[in-house]
Amino acid sequence: MTRLGQIGLQLGVGLTLAVALVAPGLAGEPGWPTYGGDQGGQRFSPATQITPANVKNLAVAWTYSTGDMKSHADFMARASFENTPILQEGRLYVCSPFNEVSALDPGTGGLLWRFDPKLDANKRYPNDYICRGVAFASNIDAKGSACNTRIYLNTADRRLIALDARTGKPCEGFGNHGTVVIPPGPQYEGKTKRFGRIHTTSAPVVTHGVVIVGSSIDDNQKVDELRGTVHAFDARTGALRWAFDPLGDEKPPFRAGAANVWAPMSVDEARGLVILPVSSASPDFFGGLRRGNGRYANSIVALHVADGTVSWSFQTTHHDVWDYDLPAQPTLGLVTYEGRTVPAVLQPTKQGLLFTIDRTDGKPLIPVVERKVPQDPAAGDRLSPTQPIPVAPVPLAPNRIAPSDAYGITFWDRGKCRDAIAAARHDGLYTPPSTQGSIIYPFTGGGTNWGGLAFDARHDIVYVNTSNAMHLVRLIRQKDFAEARERFFGKEVSPNEGAPFGMLREAMLSPIGMPCNPPPWGQLHAIDMHTGKVLWSVPLGTTEDMAPFSEYLLGKTGTPNLGGPIVTASGLVFIGAAMDDYLRAFDAKTGAELWRGRLPAGGQATPMTYVWKGRQYVVIAAGGHSKLNTRRGDQVVAFALPN
């Protein structure tokens, strides 16, 4: 394993790519140049115009409709508007769930140009229709020439497209008239060739002359799944520079695929590193045919941008059989813990854990201990006897439940939940899947998902949201699989082709549709990284848009959520994410909710903020989410203080 990457890399035939890390609205005004606010994904803005004192005056400044509610009306049930816009060179760039890119006027939301890649919506993609973002790069060609500044777009059907950032026209010199097909292509299968095995959902990253892309692969379909190879392409020509397979040269009897990078990546420009959040190997809930820990699966991996070789790695889950892959962008920043300051990686996880890793060597800054975990897996599997747990902060999501903890608003539904918990294995965090049925708690959509965290490096404080619910996972012997698929029609029943077991995964809900575990079901947390202490935790979201007036009956329950927070220098945390149609502002010091702005649809996206011509805007995609089944829409909404 090599050490640090080179500083100031030069790649290609005399090509050095300078990526704008500061992209103000106008000279000196705070902008939002990349998906995570900066290449390290801190989601921090130095903007100070909107403050805890005046945030109550925020109002809608403009809205923009992508038109998807009309043009893709038949497919909106499978669409999730997860996009975070970026601001570069006086244009706001938005990507719709169907990979259509719009360039907008930052002050009015007026359309400047629009590009439609003509995605075939009749195809079924593994994670439905999602585009979390696009990437920008400058100084690609001669100054003043077409495509000197570019937008890079991943599409669901595995295309990488380069667009002229000023006009939206494809860059002729990139690949085939502006398009490169990302290996291995979309890989459709089935009798009608309609079902895709691989696509892309997160924005690419651009650094040191290359564009780097990951992939999204469907869960629980095959043992011998496609590999989750990360590809790097020449930013000017589209030529393939290198490829990295997290499973590497694992050979039989090891059988697995995936270990892909579906969540956003981060870049350490100075060290010439790209930081990958790698997912689990296939299939998710049975590992008997992939003995061992899976090389770089479930790991934070730092690659040298120059050639794709590994600088260091750190595994957060050993031999994953819980779908506890890394779901969020690694956040880069200087962290001071107990008096020691290092360049660090902050990695939240589905388990509700937060790992803090030294970026120079991949070793924990906050110590990690290997703790014994439940054993007795399904026949043929062999678990790791221990799992890595950071000593701080404490887990941000609950992970153990007993039948007596069952929740319900009536004796009847509480009793049903109590019986369901009692009937399943419930040994706490890392309970192995079983034919009996095992409780995965937190569920595979929580604690923290693709929204990631926000980091205020001035005060060493992390802000992160979590979802608190349970999954019941039952392994199904292959001889019983056909009958089970028929019996549980309409639920997630997957074949795990090539394994001795298929699987059933379902949320543990009461008969009236409420989680069987006690609230809060969604929270927002603040963590002091100097000590690892949780400063505050507050419920996030209400049941208002699921059941009118239920908030008055149930109290502050919070809800499961998708999307992340941002933090501003004025002391505000903005977040949508919850299952009601609001964008919220919280006091960064106390966690008090100071404002909520009504949205036309679900805000399951991470917001962004910028200053344009002296006025600060907070912008969020409000289009709802297929997995949470929130209200669908196609609008980008900008809030600002009155002029």
- For the annotated catalytic residues, the residue numbers are 323
Give the burial class of 290: count Cβ atoms within 10 A of its Cβ; 0-12 exposed, 13-18 middle, 19 or more buried.
buried
Residue with tokens 């585009």: 131
Residues 6+ apart with CB under 8 A from 143: none
CB atoms under 10 Å from CB of 269, counted, come to: 18
Number of residues that make up the chain: 643
3-state secondary structure of 624: coil
Burial status of residue 59 (CB atoms within 10 A of its CB: 0-12, 13-18, 19 or more): exposed
Burial 172-208 (b: 16+ CB within 10 A, else e): ebbbeebbbebeeebebeeeeeebbbbbbbbbbbbbb
Residue 420 φ/ψ, nearest 5 degrees? -65, -40
* Residue 552, amino acid: Y
Q: Residue 152 in contact with residue 210, Cβ under 8 Å?
A: no
The H or E element that residue 413 is part of is helix 411-423
Across the chain, how many H-helices and E-strands are there? 4, 44
Contact 512, 445 (CB under 8 A): no
CA nearest to 418, candidates 543, 428, 426: 426
Rounded CA Rg of the chain? 23
DSSP codes joined into one string, 352-390:
S-EEEEETTTS-BSS-EEEEE-----STT----SEEEEE
